[in-house]
Amino acid sequence: MIIQNTKAIMFDVYGTLFDVHSVIDECKKHFPEKGKSISEVWRKKQLEYSFLRGLMGNYRPFWSITKDALRFACKSENVELTGTIEEALLGSYLKLKPYGEAEGVLEKLKGHQLAVFSNGSEDMLHPLIEHYSLQTHFDYLISVNGIRQFKPQPSSYLYALEHLGVERHEVLFLSSNTWDIAGAKTFGFKVVWVNRSGDVMDEFGIQPDHIIGDLTGLLD
Amino acid sequence: MIIQNTKAIMFDVYGTLFDVHSVIDECKKHFPEKGKSISEVWRKKQLEYSFLRGLMGNYRPFWSITKDALRFACKSENVELTGTIEEALLGSYLKLKPYGEAEGVLEKLKGHQLAVFSNGSEDMLHPLIEHYSLQTHFDYLISVNGIRQFKPQPSSYLYALEHLGVERHEVLFLSSNTWDIAGAKTFGFKVVWVNRSGDVMDEFGIQPDHIIGDLTGLLD
């Protein structure tokens, strides 16, 4: 059983518990022709900006970076982002759809120490989780904003660990993001890659401890 | 004149002096249907892996990362990378085509202190520049490998600066890569964005001091 010998189970949020591309509908509403490409560039740049700000030592909360990435996506796709549309699109980020199996799996894990750990700042993470009343499942909602260092910086995983009161090898960390898997494994967590689309693992010379197709694999 | 009040002119290499996508021909030779997509994924992952290794504190020389990125590109495009093909494709990275105007512009800058500063390790940077006998134009060929910190980490720009014996605001740094422009400007260089494709600047709240369409703009 994957969760054997585990004292805490910690979940990444964006892409792991919630589908970041569920913003496509709102994107398409305002930009029918370009909804998909805007959603893709938006996510791509959101990640890239967090990595680059981490490297430059020029931290900004993820909510601010999410805005910047949306603005870039609209400029590069050559559409006008009015104040009203920006508000609507950012608003959709606070109501991303949870993956269908997520709540049922959390329910079955009752009794374990559970946490989320995200690059998202509290002002976006809490409203999202509370919108679906999922907060009762978790002992901790941990944001890197408390230490102003993004995943996959080792200091960010250390910050999360300090909440849990266990050793790093006793933490089972789940993410769908390969860079997060690499960072968490390098730090010393046991890691489970949630590979929903049958992707190829990145070439870091690092392999996840387990690979599952969706969160139900955690119960096997 | 852009180069006024400048004591050293420093060039990024990949994408700035040399066209990274000139490997397409070699890619197409081995994978006719997928040459373009392999070249694109290869470059995208090469950059991403350098950023992520920088964040994880898990440095490898860029030549090694370039290999990893090629392997990922072939796996994700579902083609078989034999040892012979790998050698041929990596070999093409040591003979990337310089942009047409590059040598003429370097010739006209004679008398100025000139340098290149690259994420590329010496084992890939020197063969490339020497293949076209361009080394005589430069006072320094500086690789981040000397400090094992990738651009855009501030420590890498500091390392480059230490070679030049001038103040940071006296350095004019040219790059076609927006993340390099943001990093160099944050560090304190004067920066020129070589925007060959009419791209949109990234949303870091940072603007280049100058934007030119190709290197000849430096002589204006």
Are A203 and B58 an interchain contact pair (Cβ–Cβ within 8 Å)? no
Residues of B in contact with A152 (CB under 8 A): 52, 55-56
Are B56 and A186 an interchain contact pair (Cβ–Cβ within 8 Å)? yes
Chain A segment 129-188 residues within 8 A of B by beta carbon are 150, 152-154, 179, 182-183, 186
pLDDT in tens, B138-158: 999 999 999 999 999 999 999
Neighbours of A43 (CB within 10 A): 18
Q: What ipTM score was computed for the predicted complex, to two decimals?
A: 0.95
Residues of B in contact with A150 (CB under 8 A): 55
Give me the active site residues of B, please: 12
Are A204 and B53 an interchain contact pair (Cβ–Cβ within 8 Å)? yes
pLDDT in tens, A144-202: 999 999 999 999 999 999 999 999 999 999 999 999 999 999 999 999 999 999 999 99
Cα dist from B129 to A194, B112, B120, B133, B180, whole Å: 43, 19, 12, 6, 20
Query: With 90 as the cut, is the pLDDT of residue A1 above it?
Result: no
Are A76 and B200 an interchain contact pair (Cβ–Cβ within 8 Å)? yes
What is the percentage of chain B residues whose pLDDT exceeds 70? 100
pLDDT in tens, A86-133: 999 999 999 999 999 999 999 999 999 999 999 999 999 999 999 999
Query: With 90 as the cut, is the pLDDT of residue B1 above it?
Result: no
Domain locations along chain A: 8-17+99-219, 21-93
The answer to whether the pTM exceeds 0.90 is yes
Return the residue matching tokens 């940077």.
B125
| Pairs across A and B, CB distance < 8 A | 84
Contact status of B63 with chain A (Cβ, < 8 Å): no
Q: Which helix (H) or strand (E) holds A18?
A: strand A18-19
Are A203 and B68 an interchain contact pair (Cβ–Cβ within 8 Å)? yes
pLDDT mean across residues, chain B: 97
CATH 3.40.50.1000 fits A8-17+99-219, yes or no: yes
Contacts 24+ apart (CB under 8 A), A198-207: A199/B76, A200/B72, A200/B75, A200/B76, A202/A178, A202/B45, A202/B49, A202/B72, A203/B45, A203/B49, A203/B68, A203/B69, A203/B71, A203/B72, A204/B49, A204/B52, A204/B53, A204/B58, A204/B68, A205/B68, A206/A181, A206/A182
* Annotation marks residue A12 as catalytic: yes
Task: Provide the token pair at B216.
Answer: 């000849």
Bridge partners (DSSP) listed for residue B142: B117
Q: Which helix (H) or strand (E) holds A97?
A: strand A97-98
Contact status of B52 with chain A (Cβ, < 8 Å): yes
Q: Which pLDDT does position A193 carry in this prediction?
A: 98
CATH number of B21-93: 1.10.150.240
Q: Testing the interface with A: which of B49, B52, B191 to mutate, by most A Cβ within 10 A?
A: B52
Q: Testing the interface with B: which of A43, A53, A55 to mutate, by most B Cβ within 10 A?
A: A55
d(CA A193, CA B163): 43
Q: How confident is the model at residue B77 (pLDDT cuts 50, 70, 90)?
A: very high
Q: How confident is the model at residue B220 (pLDDT cuts 50, 70, 90)?
A: confident
Q: Report the alpha-carbon angle B62-A202-B86, nearest 5.
A: 55
Nearest CB among A55, A58, A72 relative to B54 is that of A55
Nearest CB among B53, B68, B182 relative to A56 is that of B182
